[in-house]
Amino acid sequence: MPSPAQPSTSDLPVAAARQGDAQAWDILLRRFQLPLFSYVMDLVHHRATSLDLVQEVFLRATQHLSSLREDQRFGAWLFGIAHQQVIQHWRRQGRSPFSDEPVPEDVSDGSASPDGDAIRDEDAAELLGAIDQLPLPQRSVILLHFLEDFPLAEIATITGASLGTVKSRLHYAKRALRHRLNPQCSERDP
């Protein structure tokens, strides 16, 4: 959900950007730059590569904005471009891991105690590690659904997969995460 300082996706100046309005593009860039970077970084785990890919996403968006038919779907359309850029990146890399710099750690929110923060950090690190082990299609669906709050139908549009495939990937991703995070589930859950 956008913060009060950020426009909702229905209030974005997509039509003005389509007409070449630089201020409209600046608003769109400010609104989507960080969420796109977070999504891409979660998939490629390399800061410089993530920055390059997000820059390429915005370049492609400026070149192809005329192909967007529903302005209110700009966010999903932009994430779709990002998704394709990540897939192209992995293909160029031979689908091998690409990470020679550490993923930045989250800054503490100042709540609770240092012990509580440490436990949350360990839990978050364990969850992120488990997500990283998922195949790219499942990892992408998990990140888009739970971190970026996209509905399943929009994830299907973003990834170019059918709704049924997205549901299946989400199901298997959640199941794999459950097994990795709680090995006792393997004994009870087929």
Residue whose C-alpha is closest to residue 17's, from 26, 9, 8: 26
Confidence (pTM):
0.64
- Listed in sequence order, the DSSP H helices in 45-162 are 47-64, 74-92, 114-132, 136-142, 152-159
The predicted pLDDT at position 92 comes to 82
Q: Is residue 103 part of a domain?
A: no
The predicted pLDDT at position 95 comes to 57
Compute CA distances 86 → 13, 159, 176, whole Å: 26, 11, 22
Last residue of a domain, one of 35, 67, 98: 98
Exposure string of 70-96, with b = 16+ CB inside 10 Å and e = fewer, is ebebbbbbbbbbbbebbbebbeeeeee
Alpha-carbon dihedral angle through residues 5, 147, 182, 153, given to the nearest 10 degrees? 140
Mean pLDDT of 85-103: 62
The residue whose two tokens read 């850029």 is 85
Same-domain pairing of 78 and 132: no
Query: Based on the structure, what is the number of domains in the chain?
Result: 2
Residue 32 reports pLDDT greater than 90:
yes
Same-domain pairing of 55 and 123: no
Mean pLDDT of 167-182: 88
The predicted pLDDT at position 102 comes to 36
Cα(120)–Cα(155) distance, rounded to whole angstroms? 28
The predicted pLDDT at position 117 comes to 46
Alpha-carbon dihedral angle through residues 44, 50, 56, 61, given to the nearest 10 degrees? 90
Q: What is the pLDDT of residues 107-165, one digit of tens each?
A: 333 444 444 444 555 666 777 778 888 888 898 898 888 888 888 998 998 888 899 99
Position 85, amino acid: Q
Same-domain pairing of 91 and 164: no
Q: What is the pLDDT of residues 37-78, one digit of tens each?
A: 999 998 888 899 999 999 999 999 999 998 888 888 899 999
**Residue numbers of the domain that contains 50:** 8-98
Neighbouring residues of 69: CB distance < 8 A, sequence distance ≥ 6: none
Mean pLDDT of 92-106: 45
Residue 186 reports pLDDT greater than 90:
no
The predicted pLDDT at position 90 comes to 82
Of 16-25, 89-98, 115-124, 157-166, minimum mean pLDDT range = 115-124
Q: Is residue 151 part of a domain?
A: yes
Same-domain pairing of 66 and 128: no
The predicted pLDDT at position 15 comes to 92
Same-domain pairing of 89 and 122: no
Q: Is residue 90 part of a domain?
A: yes
The predicted pLDDT at position 91 comes to 81
Cα(137)–Cα(182) distance, rounded to whole angstroms? 22
Burial class (CB in 10 A: 0-12, 13-18, 19+), 150: buried
